Amino acid sequence: MSGGLSRNSLLSSAAGVLASLAVALPRVALAQSGQRLTVGVLPPADISGEPYYAESQGFFRTQGLDVSIQPLANGSATIAAVAGGTLDIAYSNMLSMAIAHGRGIDMLILAPANLHVREAPTTGILAVNRSSAIFSAKDLTGKLVAVEGLNNVAEISARSWIDKNGGDSQTVKFVELAGATMPAAILANRVDAAVMNAIYDTTFGKRDDPLRRLCTSTFDAISTRWAPSVWFTSPQWIAQHPSAALAFVRAMRTTADWANKNQSATAEVLARYTQQTVSDIQSTRRVTYGGAMTPELIQPGIDAAAHYGLIKTSFPASDMIANLGDLHR
């Protein structure tokens, strides 16, 4: 989320989202007999794929939910849509959530989404052209680095990695670029490096891979295990629909467990919603999904946001976690 974020600007953005989605995304009330809700995701991808998996396996129906899945452009858009009431629950990255909290936009986290795990990283992969003379953080001085969002999780993780490994992130120029276009941009030397997700690089780790990786993942510089993204809603929505909130959390926990154990099946589901083939999806390193929501999973992201000035000061992660009883233990 770039620039300042105020309550007025966020609600103004929400109004725009509402206008553009008036036909495709009507506001849905929770019915006593159906427990209907609308869930916002990013454009179909592994990192936010859980609702697609839950729908395909009947996990939502098992919990008595009738879910409509609505893709939006980015985490800022999903926060605006939840704030404006056009979405019930949505996906967003942790730094956007921390920024919103710091500006007084009250949102509560229901469940973790994708996890960063040092042993199996899928996000924050800093890559350069194999022929590049860049081999270290110090070599990035004065270079142009592509990220999927300015002043957001990809940029902050890269800054943190550079600063902790002998470089100076203040000398690096960051530009925003769609993840799917990053490999081509690196190979064409339009950027010197990019912070990538594995799903966008079908040659990742193969012998003929034209890209070289500078580190396992820049996300390690924030924490070796944390939740870069989460599922969230507003306190008002939880107060009005507590049973649906509980049902959603249960469905996400079941989905995370199933998806982590059945990656071939999830590839088949994901291929229905993307331009990638099942083979392409299976050839990439797949996401690990979180189960229980704990403060330890999101505190590193909050602290990083404070360190790099995205929020004025850090705060306890527990302030942002919905109080749903035993489900978060």
**pLDDT, tens digit, 9 for 90 and up, residues 168-183:** 999 999 999 988 899 9
Averaged over 80-91, what is the pLDDT? Answer: 94
How far, in whole angstroms, is CA 12 from its chain's centroid?
Answer: 23
Looking at the DSSP bridge assignments, the partners of residue 104 are none
Please indicate whether residue 8 or residue 320 has the higher confidence score (pLDDT). 320
How sure is the predictor about 75, in pLDDT bands with cuts at 50, 70 and 90? low
Model pLDDT, residue 11: 40
Model pLDDT, residue 205: 62
- CATH T-level assignment (fold) for domain 7-115+225-328: D-Maltodextrin-Binding Protein; domain 2 (3.40.190)
Q: Which CATH superfamily is domain 125-221 in?
A: Periplasmic binding protein-like II (3.40.190.10)
Model pLDDT, residue 208: 74
Query: Is residue 283 over pLDDT 90?
Result: no
Averaged over 127-134, what is the pLDDT? Answer: 95
Question: What is the percentage of the chain residues whose pLDDT exceeds 90?
Answer: 68
Mean of per-residue pLDDT scores for the chain: 87
Please indicate whether residue 21 or residue 285 has the higher confidence score (pLDDT). 285
Residues of the chain with CATH 3.40.190.10: 7-115+225-328, 125-221
Question: What's the pTM value of the predicted model, to 2 decimals?
Answer: 0.84
Query: Is residue 1 over pLDDT 50?
Result: no
What amino acid is encoded at 171 in this protein?
Answer: T
Query: Is residue 91 over pLDDT 70?
Result: yes
Q: Each residue of 192-211: pLDDT tens digit?
A: 999 998 877 766 666 678 89
Question: What is the percentage of the chain residues whose pLDDT exceeds 70?
Answer: 85
How sure is the predictor about 111, in pLDDT bands with cuts at 50, 70 and 90? very high
Model pLDDT, residue 45: 85
Radius of gyration of the chain (CA): 19
Query: Is residue 306 over pLDDT 50?
Result: yes
Model pLDDT, residue 326: 54
- In angstroms, the CA 69 to CA 39 distance is 5
Q: Each residue of 9-46: pLDDT tens digit?
A: 444 444 343 333 333 333 333 333 468 999 999 888 88
Model pLDDT, residue 293: 94
Please indicate whether residue 7 or residue 70 has the higher confidence score (pLDDT). 70
Query: Is residue 120 over pLDDT 50?
Result: yes
Smallest CA-to-CA distance from 44 within 25, 72, 18, 66 is with 72
